[in-house]
A and B are shown apart, each in its own frame.
Chain A
Amino acid sequence: AQSVTQLGSHVSVSEGALVLLRCNYSSSVPPYLFWYVQYPNQGLQLLLKYTTGATLVKGINGFEAEFKKSETSFHLTKPSAHMSDAAEYFCAVTWNTGFQKLVFGTGTRLLVSP
């Protein structure tokens, strides 16, 4: 079955440190991959996406992710964490089937300390 695994329900970093949030997927067909961020009492905001083409994708707020087919991974990184990055992050996958259904990981809460 197609699925997404996010390693670590909580990740803590210091302000200015590297952010690395892990996402692995399981799919028998080429996936389309997304990272979303959710702030308290809000909906999901799209950070970045991978569909086809360049495997290193850049998103908003300085985030980027690299699609590695051999490792079935799509990890999210940011060189320098900011206090405003504290939120919950969701990795999601869909496929080129013409349907919109997203399958989400369980989420990773990013904590940023001063």
Chain B
Amino acid sequence: KAGVTQTPRYLIKTRGQQVTLSCSPISGHRSVSWYQQTPGQGLQFLFEYFSETQRNKGNFPGRFSGRQFSNSRSEMNVSTLELGDSALYLCASSFDKGAHEQYFGPGTRLTVT
């Protein structure tokens, strides 16, 4: 069974631009979560989606948004990029909203210049 896939793997953007990252969960998994990883702040929870609904959101500004489609694929968007948004963005999938094992993708490395 294929793992979690994320596209693109690497991205370079300029301050003020916006970016969309994509995540395809493991086949049959219905829950998707997003995390941001930076050297300074470590791994931080962004959001959780299940059945196209955002169930939980971390402490991030409104520039960070996401959505989930009916096939469980998810996208996250960051508008008005800032230098501090440079990070590895990780997507994780889980079988169900009550399941606790999360399986992570390889991440998208976003660099903002």
Contact = CB atoms under 8 A, between A and B. Distances in A.
B100 A43 contact: no
A1 to B, nearest CB: 12
A60 B1 CA distance: 18
Contacts of A42: 106-107
A104 B88 CA distance: 15
Interface in B33-82: 33, 35, 42-45, 48, 55-56, 58
Given A102-B102, A104-B42, A43 B90 contact: yes
B4 interface: yes
Contacts of B104: 36, 43-46
Interface residues of A, number: 25
Contacts of B101: 46, 49
A77 interface: no
Nearest to A44: B104
A32 B98 CA distance: 12
Contacts of A90: 43
- Which of A41, A44, A98, A104 has the most B CB atoms < 10 Å from its CB? A44
Interface in B11-29: none
Given A32-B100, A100-B31, A101-B56, A43 B105 contact: yes
A107 B102 contact: no
A99 B103 contact: no
- Residue of B31, B100, B106, B107 with most chain A CB atoms under a 10 A cut-off: B100
Interface of A: 32, 34, 36, 41-46, 49, 51, 90, 92, 94, 96, 98-107
Closest 3 CB pairs of A and B: A43-B104, A104-B43, A44-B104
Given A99-B56, A100-B102, 8 more contacts: A43-B4, A43-B107, A100-B92, A101-B58, A103-B45, A104-B42, A106-B42, A107-B43
25 contacts: A32-B100, A34-B100, A36-B104, A42-B107, A43-B4, A43-B90, A43-B105, A44-B90, A44-B104, A46-B101, A46-B103, A49-B100, A94-B100, A99-B48, A99-B55, A100-B97, A101-B33, A101-B45, A101-B58, A102-B43, A102-B102, A103-B45, A104-B44, A106-B42, A107-B43
